[in-house]
Each structure stands twice: as C-alpha cells, then as structure tokens.
Chains A and B, each alone.
Chain A
Amino acid sequence: GAVVSQHPSWVICKSGTSVKIECRSLDFQATTMFWYRQFPKQSLMLMATSNEGSKATYEQGVEKDKFLINHASLTLSTLTVTSAHPEDSSFYICSARRPGRPGGTQYFGPGTRLLVL
C-alpha cells in the first residue's frame, strides 16, 4: 500500500495559539487529500477535501476560517487550526487518494493527536 505521513504525531499547545499539521504523500502524487477528525471511540468525520492548486472544500458545519487548509504541492497538504481552544482537542487524520479512475483507495496517515490546554 501507499505511504502517507503526518507531522507532528503529538502536539500540546496553549489556548489561543495556532497549530499546523502536515500531511505528505510519500510515494505518489495526490491531487486530492482529505482531512478527518475523530473523537474517542467514534468514527471518522470528514472535515474537508483538499485539492492541489485550488481552494479546499469544507463539509457542512466546519468553520473554514478556523481550519485553514493549504494544498500547495502534489505531495503536501497542511491543516492549520487557528486560535485553538480546548474543544479543538481531537485526533486529526489525513488521507490521500491516487489520481485516476474512480473508486481509488484512500491511504491514511498515522494521525495527529492535538491537546489544547
């Protein structure tokens, strides 16, 4: 399977600061990447779809000014949680899909645990 990395794997920050999470597709060029949020013992909730060279598409209820997404290259997407607050504490997961035909598998990064104090 393909390899997707995330950095950092763990981050603890103070309330009001901004946190940037990187997602890299290591062995293929991903025109589309996805950002998910997962609360403990719950399923993955899609936050946004990151498209290389264009604006991200956010799911309903996700604040685009709060969660800034940049997909500047075919192998890198970043999620910035701006002015983080304790309620933003969660597990954030990115995924990348190989371009091409529909139904392509999404390959997931290892996730980033964010704790806002």
Chain B
Amino acid sequence: AQTVTQSQPEMSVQEAETVTLSCTYDTSESDYYLFWYKQPPSRQMILVIRQEAYKQQNATENRFSVNFQKAAKSFSLKISDSQLGDAAMYFCASSRFSQGGSEKLVFGKGTKLTVNP
C-alpha cells in the first residue's frame, strides 16, 4: 500500500525565520506527483506547492520550496521568511492510481506549524 509519512507532528518557527517540514513516501508507481497542502484554522485546504516526480528541478512558489530526493523518496517543504499567516496544519500528499484508473491522493498525518512573533 502507498504510504506518506510526516515524522514531525508539530513544529515551531520564529517569524521571519526558515523552517523545513519533512515528508517521506513509499510508492510503486513509476510516474507520480507530490503535493503540499496547507490547512489553516478555517480548515480550508489550500495547495501550497506541487512537484512532478519526473522533473529533477525542485518546485518553488515564492517563499515555499521543496527538496525532492527521488531516490530517497523524500519530499520536504521549506518555508522562508515565515509569516504569522503561515501557521497551519501542513499535509504532504502523493498521487496514486486505483485499479479502475482513477487518480487519488494519499495524505500524511500532517505537521502543525506554529509561527511565533
């Protein structure tokens, strides 16, 4: 079974500092996609960043970047210049294809990020 592991239940960072959230995954798919989603207290799931596994270049979105290590099956998220609004639950997810051909997401258990002023 495909699994996504987030080993850090909670993390904290000082405002304006940098923090890295860890994620490892296990998949038998040859082609797959990786995502980081953010869930603030409103509980709205928001896409932070997306990585295509066949691309070697790490994805970046403004202050958010990933360190994608395909051989190690590692997909960590780096948040630079942390802001108070970054405080949220962060979920790592990978795509998987079911037997019927439908593409689904497998989520990790999440990391709660606190940003201290």
**A91-B43, A105-B47, A111-B43 known; A34+B104 contact, CB < 8 A:** yes
Using CB atoms, name the residue of chain A closest to B106.
Answer: A46
A61 at the interface (CB under 8 A from B): no
Closest residue of chain B to A59, judged by CB?
B104
Instruction: Name the segment of A15-23, A65-73, A95-103 touching the other chain.
Output: A95-103
Residues of B in contact with A (beta carbons under 8 Å apart): 31-33, 35, 37, 42-47, 50, 52, 91, 95, 97-98, 100, 102-105, 107-110
Q: Is A51 interfacial (CB 8 A cutoff)? A: yes
Would you call A43 and B91 a contact (CB within 8 A)? yes
Tell me, in angstroms, the Cα distance from A69 to B50 when the chains sit together.
29
Q: Is the Cβ of A106 less than 8 Å from the Cβ of B105?
A: yes
Q: A44 touching B107 by the CB < 8 A rule?
A: yes
CB-defined A-B contacts under 8 Å, sample of 12: A1-B46, A32-B103, A42-B110, A43-B109, A43-B110, A46-B104, A49-B98, A102-B33, A102-B103, A108-B46, A110-B43, A111-B43
Min CB–CB distance B95 → chain A (angstroms): 6
Residues of A15-72 at the interface with B, using a CB-CB cut-off of 8 Å, are: 32, 34, 38, 42-44, 46, 49, 51, 57
A103-B33, A110-B44, A111-B44 are contacts. A46–B105 as well, Cβ < 8 Å?
yes
Inter-subunit contact B104/A49 (CB<8 Å):
yes
Minimum CB–CB distance from B37 to chain A (whole Å) comes to: 8
The chain A residues found within 8 Å of chain B, CB to CB, are 1, 32, 34, 38, 42-44, 46, 49, 51, 57, 91, 93, 95, 97, 102-108, 110-111
How long is the Cα–Cα vector from A110 to B43 in the complex, in angstroms? 7
Chain A binding site: helix, strand, loop or mixed by DSSP?
strand
A32-B103 Cα distance, complex, nearest whole Å? 9
**Would you call A102 and B42 a contact (CB within 8 A)?**
no
CB-CB under 8 A for A108 and B50, given A43-B110, A51-B102: no
Q: Is the CB of B33 within 8 A of A57?
A: no
Selected contact of B31 from candidates A46, A102, A107, CB within 8 Å = A102
Q: What A residues does B47 contact at CB under 8 A? A: 1, 105, 107
